[in-house]
């Protein structure tokens, strides 16, 4: 990749990451269902990873995860019962999400816009199911806390609305990534070159 | 071996394991890992300020366009109201002076007169139903301190409780909202010898803006419409701060009577909040040996 293209890519990613993360935590209630908001950071990481490959996805995911942890870290109940704000869960989630997004049927089917939306839906569903399961297990370990949300409630009041909101948010974000950068024509040239080069090709920049 | 070390899944797995170790180590009280996100603030805070002020300006512009006429009318009404209030204020200033004289004479201490009140703006809100800690723009550089085992009440402009401070950083504080499932507080019906119980956030009720009330004595069941205030048990929060009203009561299981409570205020709708910090002599009082167990049981 030539130097001007690289600088453009970094600049565009920096603007996207800073604007989207700060917008989400500053004005979260612009669109809301059942008190849930579209998770713009999550959708952007999935789409970047799916559209532009593993390397872009992981870097964007790590940066978005760090900012997410800084702005709104999840509070967890420690084993002694005190509630603390955690460090690193956002980073963990976003890197895992990016890894999943970058490999969402990309070996068997050409990357295309329809599968980009499907990847957002599937990975959101996975994230929410795993999240509820982990919280259920963790609260079961703690003696004085109960997780008063059964599977049907979790599905109707959390998982499905969040998936719908993320799908809704993925349309403008997809168009933005496709037509406004970071790559001309919305295609990462590295991904074209990497076809048939095996597992190490993601390291080529 | 080289192939393994350059395998993207291997590197991802190792990275995730390292982050998992950081999460676990960072959960210990006083862990230095809690400071690793400080540099992030230097980059994202100025951007957030720009986004926030731009958003507010756009919002203000839109409001100015749509509500101009209504505001003008309201302004006239408010001016008349201000004149009326000014008259009442003059009358009450006189009464306040007399009250202070009496307070001094009878050694009366108001509950909140033992607390310093710190005003703050909300900097960032939740980004997800689980990433739910809210940041407020006041920290230990402003004079707020948070001792281990201590908690600070967060109230709105009408002194309704809206959350508590769980972490204080140099320039900001992390707040756990009242509706969060990790929040619990001891409350009572706002009456003489009112029944006490525990009010806690609940995963399934928070979507409706409600809290769960547990620990209800079957002999003193609250009724829908009862006002609930903090009981002061455990000493973490001052007594008598309004929390909300009882919405429904479930007596189907006499051994576990529960109720739902609608808080007066939701931190999600607010821009400005106030943190109640006990004055020094009260902090000593709250962190006496033996007290933390009782405290943990009541207000956590």
**Optimal mutation site among A14, A67, A102, interface B, most CBs of chain B within 10 A:** A67
Task: For chain B, give the mean pLDDT.
Answer: 81
Are the C-beta atoms of B286 and B236 separated by less than 8 Å? yes
A-chain CB neighbours of B202 within 8 Å are: 148
B135:A71 CB<8 A: yes
- Scan for tokens 């821009």, then name that residue: B271
pLDDT-derived band at B296 (thresholds 50, 70, 90) equals very low
Tell me if residue A78 falls in helix, strand or coil.
Answer: coil
Query: What is the SS3 assignment for chain B?
Result: CHHHHCCHHHHHHHHHHHHHHHHHHHCCCCCHHHHCCHHHHHHHHHHHHHHHHHHHHHHHHHHHHHHHHHHHHHHHHHHHHHHHHHHHHHHHHHHHHHHHHHHHHHCCCCHHHHEEEEEEEEEECCCCCCCCCEEECCCHHHCCCCCCCCCEEEECCCCCEEEEEEEECCCCEEEEECCCCCCEEEEEECCCCCCEEEEECCCCCHHHCCEEEECCCCCCCCCCCCEEEECCCCCCCCCCCEEEEEEEEECCCCCCCEEEEEECCCHHHCCEEEEEEECHHHHHHHCCCCHHHHHHHHCC
State the pTM of this model.
0.79
**Optimal mutation site among A25, A29, A132, interface B, most CBs of chain B within 10 A:** A25
B26, closest residue in chain A (CA to CA): A87
Interface of B with A in 43-72 (CB under 8 A): 43-44, 47-48, 51-52, 55
Tens of pLDDT along chain A (205 residues) come to 678 888 889 999 999 999 999 988 888 777 777 677 899 999 999 999 998 988 899 999 999 999 999 988 888 877 666 788 888 899 999 999 999 998 877 667 777 788 889 999 999 999 999 999 988 888 777 766 667 778 888 888 889 999 999 999 999 999 999 898 788 877 887 776 555 555 444 444 3
Cα B176–Cα B19–Cα A200 angle in degrees, nearest 5: 140
Taking the CB of residue B214, how many other CB atoms lie within 10 A of it? 16
A144, closest residue in chain B (CA to CA): B297
B124:A90 CB<8 A: no
B-chain CB neighbours of A77 within 8 Å are: 182
Query: Phi, psi at residue B202, to the nearest 5°?
Result: -140, 135
Section B83-106 average pLDDT: 76
- Looking at the complex, report in whole angstroms how far the Cα of residue A178 sits from the nearest Cα belonging to chain B: 23
Are the C-beta atoms of B217 and B258 separated by less than 8 Å? no
**Interface A:B, Cβ pairs < 8 A:** 176
Residue A179 corresponds to which tokens in the numbers above?
């037509």
- Pairing of β B173-177 and β A75-77: unpaired
Q: How far is CA B272 from CA A2, B157, B281, in A?
A: 48, 8, 28
Cis peptide before B254 (omega within 30 of 0): no
pLDDT-derived band at B112 (thresholds 50, 70, 90) equals low
Query: What is the predicted pLDDT for the residue at A201?
Result: 44
pLDDT per position as a tens digit, B29-49: 777 777 778 788 888 888 888
pLDDT per position as a tens digit, B151-187: 888 988 888 899 999 888 888 899 999 888 888 889 9
Section B190-202 average pLDDT: 84
A-chain CB neighbours of B215 within 8 Å are: none
Are the C-beta atoms of B246 and B98 separated by less than 8 Å? no
Which of B19, B44, B134 is closest, CB to CB, to A70?
B44
B184, β-bridge pairs:
B200
Section B221-226 average pLDDT: 89
Which of B15, B23, B149 is closest, CB to CB, to A89?
B23
Q: Could you give the CA distance from residue A103 to residue A126 in angstroms, rounded to a whole number?
A: 14
- Scan for tokens 């950081």, then name that residue: B22
A-chain CB neighbours of B23 within 8 Å are: 86-89, 92
A124, closest residue in chain B (CA to CA): B128
Interface of B with A in 154-193 (CB under 8 A): 166-167, 174, 176, 180-183
**Optimal mutation site among A17, A77, A84, interface B, most CBs of chain B within 10 A:** A84
Q: Which domains does chain A have, with CATH numbers?
A: 3-196 (1.10.1760)
Q: What is the separation of C-alpha B300 from the centre of its chain, rounded to a whole number of angstroms?
A: 12
A19:B47 CB<8 A: yes
The closest of A41, A135, A83, A23 to B125, measured between CA atoms, is A23
B44:A88 CB<8 A: no
B174, closest residue in chain A (CA to CA): A85
Which of B27, B129, B181 is closest, CB to CB, to A84?
B27
Query: What is the predicted pLDDT for the residue at A60?
Result: 95
B23:A88 CB<8 A: yes
């Amino acid at each position: 990749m030539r130097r001007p293209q690289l600088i453009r890519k970094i600049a565009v990613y920096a603007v996207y990451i800073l604007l989207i993360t700060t917008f989400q935590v500053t004005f979260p209630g612009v669109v809301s269902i059942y008190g849930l908001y579209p998770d713009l950071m999550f959708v952007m990481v999935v789409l970047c990873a799916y559209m532009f490959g593993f390397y872009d996805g992981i870097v964007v995911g790590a940066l978005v995860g760090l900012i997410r942890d800084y702005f709104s870290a999840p509070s967890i109940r420690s084993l002694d019962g005190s509630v603390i704000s955690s460090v690193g869960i956002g980073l963990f989630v976003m890197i895992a999400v990016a890894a999943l997004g970058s490999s969402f049927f990309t070996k068997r089917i050409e990357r295309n816009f329809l599968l980009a939306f499907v990847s957002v839906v599937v990975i959101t569903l996975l994230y929410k199911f795993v999240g509820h399961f982990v919280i259920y297990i963790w609260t079961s370990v703690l003696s004085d806390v109960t997780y008063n949300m059964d599977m049907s409630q979790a599905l109707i009041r959390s998982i499905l609305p969040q998936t719908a909101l993320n799908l809704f948010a993925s349309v403008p974000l997809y168009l933005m990534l496709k037509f406004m950068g970071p790559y001309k024509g919305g295609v990462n040239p590295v991904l074209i070159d990497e076809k048939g080069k095996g597992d190490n090709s993601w390291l080529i920049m | 071996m080289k192939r393994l070390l350059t395998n993207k899944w291997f590197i991802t797995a190792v990275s995730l394991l390292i982050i998992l170790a950081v999460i676990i180590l960072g959960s210990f009280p006083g862990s230095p890992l809690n400071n690793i996100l400080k540099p992030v603030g230097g980059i994202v805070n100025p951007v957030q300020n720009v986004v926030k002020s731009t958003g507010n300006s756009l919002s203000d512009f839109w409001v100015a366009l749509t509500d101009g006429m209504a505001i003008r009318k309201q302004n006239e009404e408010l001016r008349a109201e201000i004149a009326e209030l000014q008259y009442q204020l003059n009358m009450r200033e006189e009464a306040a002076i007399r009250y202070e004289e009496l307070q001094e004479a009878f050694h009366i201490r108001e509950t909140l007169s033992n607390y310093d009140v710190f005003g703050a703006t909300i900097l960032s809100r939740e980004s997800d139903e689980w990433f739910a800690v809210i940041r407020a723009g006041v920290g230990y550089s402003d004079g707020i301190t948070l001792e281990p085992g201590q908690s600070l009440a967060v109230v709105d402009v009408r002194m309704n409780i809206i959350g508590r401070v769980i972490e204080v950083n140099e320039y900001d504080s992390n707040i756990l909202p009242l509706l969060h499932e990790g929040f619990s507080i001891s409350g009572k019906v706002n009456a003489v010898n009112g029944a006490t119980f525990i009010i806690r956030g609940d995963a399934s009720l928070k979507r409706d803006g409600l809290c769960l009330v547990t620990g209800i004595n079957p002999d003193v069941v609250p009724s829908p419409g009862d006002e609930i205030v903090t009981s002061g048990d455990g000493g973490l929060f001052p007594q008598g701060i309004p929390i909300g009203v009882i919405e429904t009561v479930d007596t189907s299981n006499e051994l576990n009577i529960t109720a739902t409570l609608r808080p007066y205020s939701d931190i999600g709708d607010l821009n400005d909040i106030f943190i109640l910090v006990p004055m020094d002599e009260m902090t000593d009082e709250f962190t006496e040996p033996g007290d933390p167990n009782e405290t943990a049981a009541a207000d956590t």
